[in-house]
Structure 1
Amino acid sequence: MANEKIERVRQILQGKGLDVILFFSSENLLYLSGYTGGEGILGIAEDEVWLFVDFRYFEIAQEEARDCEVRLLKKGLKEVREFLRERNFKKIGLEAKAITLFEFEQLHDPAFDFMPLSKELEALRVKKTPEEIRLIKKAVEVAENAFKEILKVVKPGIREIEIAIELEYQIKRKGSESLPFQVIVLSGERTSLPHGVPSEKVIKEGELLLFDFGARIGGYASDETRTVFLGEVEPELKRIYEIVRKAQQNALKVIKAGLSFKEVDEAARKLIEDAGYGNFFGHGTGHGVGLAVHEYPSLSPDSEGELEEGMVITVEPGIYLPQKGGVRIEDLILVKKDGVEILTKLDHHIQI
């Protein structure tokens, strides 16, 4: 499998007329070599592959990295620059979204012709193999089992941060290797913050609770959001909940291989706009999930591209009313030739 992945990189190499492509993200280091250390640089050329790591990661890289030569860095990126110069490489592709300006300055050499690569590399991981899908499904199962434990203890009088800490603990206790992102637990008017941070706020009867959470298995992430009713909530919040639910169902009904990213977003967004809440839905309808919790594609009004069979994406419309409250429902789905397989299994309507 690793050889096949590297060969796909070499097709990009040849198509762009490059001598070597350098990867910097932990996700691509894992995907292309099996190395889990996170920090390092992977170089793929026509006939050779190298993984550069410093002393802290050298032993584990030697144990884990497949189909590549592991090289010990003693002088940082300047040493990589010298290595490339010795190989007489001129045209060098860079994983543009993962290299910092500082790192680029250390690599820079007048003899090199750098080419930033983004979409070309994003496409490498977009279609999931059966094994990748199995790992994502397991991550979903772990996260949902943890969430079910949390629902047993949620009650008025508990702080958001207490619930978040317990949820994170349960996710790890159930088997997650790490947290793919910081758990979001928001209540009341704070649910209008799409990516708010759990606070000292005490939750109250009659409020909405918003949970955004996931797990990681074999490097692969899950991502799911549920909006929970703590008792009876006011009519407008019930109304926007139903609008979001229907918007998500609209999107799920149309999704299949070949549909444009824009069309998925439009299927959810139009219903929200027609209900008069378009100005309160300010993010895309979904995104890809895999080794990174946010990866290609993005499902938004200006996204370019089409769904492919084997993509794993979120569908997560929302409405956020400042100082009042917000609703988001997020499911993880597998794109099929003629529809979807919904990977997340929790009920949508949850009332405590």
Structure 2
Amino acid sequence: MNSVKQKKIIQLMNDFQLDGLFIHTYENRRYFTDFTGSNGMYFFDGLTNFLWTDQRYSLQAMEQSPFCKVEIANGPMNQFLADKMSDKFAGRIGFESDDMTVSQFSFFKEIIPDVSWIPLGDELLKIRAVKSDDELKIIKESINKADVAFAKLLNMINIGMSEIDVRNELEYLMAKEGHEGPAFGTIVAFGERAAFPHAVPTTRKLNKNEYMLIDFGIKYQGYMSDMTRTIEIGQVDDFSSNIFEITLKALESSIEEVTPGIESHLLDEVARSIFREAGIEEYSLRGLGHGVGLQIHEYPKVIENGKGKIENGMVFTVEPGIYIPNRVGVRIEDIISVTETGVEILTSTPRKIRLAL
């Protein structure tokens, strides 16, 4: 574990007066140990990093997590955990209360009834919200691979293609750039169907003189990218074009206000006030953006009436959208990184794209 992460985890333990920290979710375990196996538990007692997994991952765990004391279950995992916990757990143990099932928690309490289990809620997400230089480098590469694939896709778009056709072509192109899979279900929506914020691609065919909305990302070395573009096919009507320009203004104005220390909800209000002035705020969603990292939705939450401040090193999306049922949907989304003085825009694809098909 690098020194920055080690300091973060020790500070967390000091803040909550913990004697140990127990982590079972994939993303948090990967963050602290670099281990990518599907089965594993991480425990830190203030001195030693323990990684517990099964026989399938013995070599992988030692290779990926050389700073951990790797211990392998040679039988049922529950019995293995029972033995390890009885031996090592004492005092106040922090755990991922938002992600542990009732049955898991009941099992652990039965094994070691005298331990005080301290719920951490979203504290680990807050730790992951500020990205290291190494994390930022991987995120930039993830975004770049998605940008390259998208640029290639634009040369393949033709009238008559279905939403499913476009989705399949894009995911194939992303795979050729090298990744661990799509970051989420790729969204492709034509014309009036773009008014569905999370539209599932259908056999609906692409026509001239309408918008095509594409929202997609990839997972690369564990880290996600996320981008939305609303592409003009031919020439759209004046009403739709005006909606696009207002949405673009909301995006650009919000990004201009990003600075360390600003309350996250104030960024949402920048975009919302522009929509409100145009008389279309009722067609927007309740949030402007979300953090991106080992998960596609992380901290910070840039939402209406949300809590928390933007910090140097945070990486998040800015994605204002307007969704008018049965008529038009527009969303434009970039990923940005917060710097000491403002912001670095990580997405390089142009925001305005028109295909004269």
Which TM class, normalised by the smaller chain length?
over 0.9
Could you say what secondary structure the match of 2:236 adopts?
A: coil
How far, CA to CA, are the matches of 2:333 and 2:321 in structure 1?
A: 9
Give the equivalent residue in structure 1 for 2:65.
65
Q: Secondary structure at the match of 2:290?
A: strand
Q: Distance in 1 between matches of 2:285 and 2:217?
A: 22
1:88, CA displacement in angstroms?
A: 4.6
Instruction: Give the corresponding residue for 2:151.
Output: 148
Q: Which moved more, 1:255-264 or 1:114-123?
A: 114-123
1:272-321 per-residue CA deviation (whole Å, 9 max, x = no partner) reads 12211111112310111112221111001222111111111111110111
Structure 1 residue 162: deviation in Å?
A: 1.4
Structure 2 letter corresponding to 1:333: I
The alignment's C-alpha RMSD in Å is 1.8
Show the 5 A alignment for 1:132-281.
Answer: 132-281=135-284
Does the CA-based 8 Å contact 2:286-2:304 persist in structure 1? no
The normalised TM-score by structure 2 is: 0.93
Give the letter aligned to residue 87 of structure 1. Answer: K
What per-residue deviation string (whole Å, max 9, x for no partner) do you get for residues 59-94 of structure 1? Answer: 321221132122223323453244222225242211
Distance 1:249 1:155 in 2: 30
Residues 21, 95 of structure 1: 8 Å contact kept? no
Aligned residue for 1:321? 324
Aligned residue-pair number: 352
Deviation at 1:3, TM superposition (A): 4.2
Which of 299, 313, 326 is the equivalent residue of 1:310?
Answer: 313
Asked if the contact 1:78–1:106 (Cα under 8 Å) also holds between the matched residues in 2, the reply is: no
Percentage identity across paired residues of the two chains: 35
Which residue matches 1:100? 101
CA distance in 2, matches of 1:333, 1:169: 26
After alignment, is 251-260 or 35-44 more displaced? Answer: 35-44
Per-residue CA deviations over 1:187-212 (Å, capped at 9, x if unaligned) read 12211111122122222222211111
How far apart, in 2, do the equivalents of 1:9 and 1:147 lie?
Answer: 38
Bigger drift between 20-29 and 292-301 goes to 20-29
1:76 aligns with 2:96: no
Gaps of 5+ in 2: none
Moved more, 79-88 or 268-277: 79-88
Counterpart in 2 of 1:11? Answer: 11
Shift of 1:217: 2.7
SS at match of 2:119: strand
The equivalent of 1:297 in structure 2 is 300
The corresponding residue for 2:86 is 85
TM norm structure 1: 0.94
Code of the aligned partner of 1:27: E
Q: Give, in whole Å, the separation in 2 of the partners of 1:308 and 1:95.
A: 23
